[in-house]
Amino acid sequence: KIPVVMKLLRMIQLRNSHPAFNGEFTINNCSDHELSLTWAYQGKYATLRVDLMNNSSVIVYSDVSSERELVFV
């Protein structure tokens, strides 16, 4: 499969299964060219960070024992 499709499938899987998406949604403070959104629930979290100047984005999320990233460039 194409890498972009694999990342999109992983993002969909994360959205459908991560407990943070059952919790509170927050729009975070950031610069004018950025967007940062966080979902949190019972100590679990997922944060989407979009940089509009660099046309890049990353999802940082909690895992069982660590923090992981899903990067889109």
The DSSP line for 5-54 is HHHHHHHHHHHHH-GGGGSEEEEPP--TTEEEEEEEETTEEEEEEEETTT
Residue 67 — pLDDT band, cuts 50, 70, 90? confident
Q: Model confidence over 7-27: pLDDT tens digits?
A: 889 899 999 999 999 999 999
Tens of pLDDT along 29-66? 999 999 999 999 999 999 999 999 999 999 999 987 77
Long-range contacts, stretch 60-67, CB < 8 angstroms, 24+ apart: 61/14, 61/18, 61/20, 62/20
pLDDT level of residue 73 (50, 70, 90 thresholds): low
